[in-house]
Amino acid sequence: MLNNKLALITGGGRGIGRAIALAFAREGAQVAIVARTLDQVKQVAEEIEKDHGSKVLALVCDVSSRDSVEQMFSEVRSNFDREVDVLVNNAGVAESATFVNTTDELWHKHLSINLSGTFYCTRAALPGMLKGGWGRIINIASIAGKTGAPYIAAYAASKHGVMGLTRSLAVEVGASGVTVNAICPGYVDTEMVSRGIERITTRTGRSADEALDSLKKMSPQNRLVTSEEVAALALLLASDEGRGINGQGINIDGGSVVS
């Protein structure tokens, strides 16, 4: 499905990013995996090499830094001797606070990583895609990019921004052979959600099981989404079969948000 394609996944060392990297490699893609923690992306790279034999590159990158992103793309092009065909903007942060306790640091952290990081990586990847007449940009947003919730103003604002970027760019490049879409997960069974459960237990005194149940009940399916489910959707969007999907924010949340 992705033979002869080069995919770059940010935040690829764990959770959703790891699952997408493995799924793309399984379908024949060459893969570049980047994150702030080198050990994690190296482990994923070793797993890909062992199980799929695909060419893979593991790099450190801080997507909130334009210079770091530009250096990372330079290394990817140098190692693969080609442009990126599929970009998955998955790197992100999710922290919570009441609005009045949302510090400048917390606010800018979410915007710089979740939104500016998506912008920097997309701007670096897009020229090569346009020149080649084919490309896929897949932004991992959130159902918080479509609705609001208490205590996540910074996170929701950043993900709403990702949705605005997705929709605007999709229209701009629609005739070029490049598609731009967002995946909007609900609560996913990842380390990020585990940390959220820890915060709930600390603030409310509820047990971890009770906190987990409260998150599950936010979905009509009464469960968390898996990283593999998100990866399967990313695989469709990256494929030729998904070429008619453009400018969309596709929910994968069990039906908790229906817009």
User: Catalytic residues, which ones?
Assistant: 155
**Phi (first) and psi of residue 99, to 5 degrees:** -60, -45
Closest CA to 44 of 69, 15, 72, 68: 15
Amino acid at 3: N
How many other CB atoms are found less than 10 A from the CB of residue 78? 9
> What Å distances lie between residue 134 and 53, 145, 175, 247, 256, CA to CA?
25, 27, 10, 16, 34
- In a 13 Å sphere around the CA of 179, the CA atoms on its Cβ side amount to 19
Lookup: tokens for 2: 């992705």
67 exposed, middle or buried (CB, 10 Å; 0-12, 13-18, 19+)? exposed
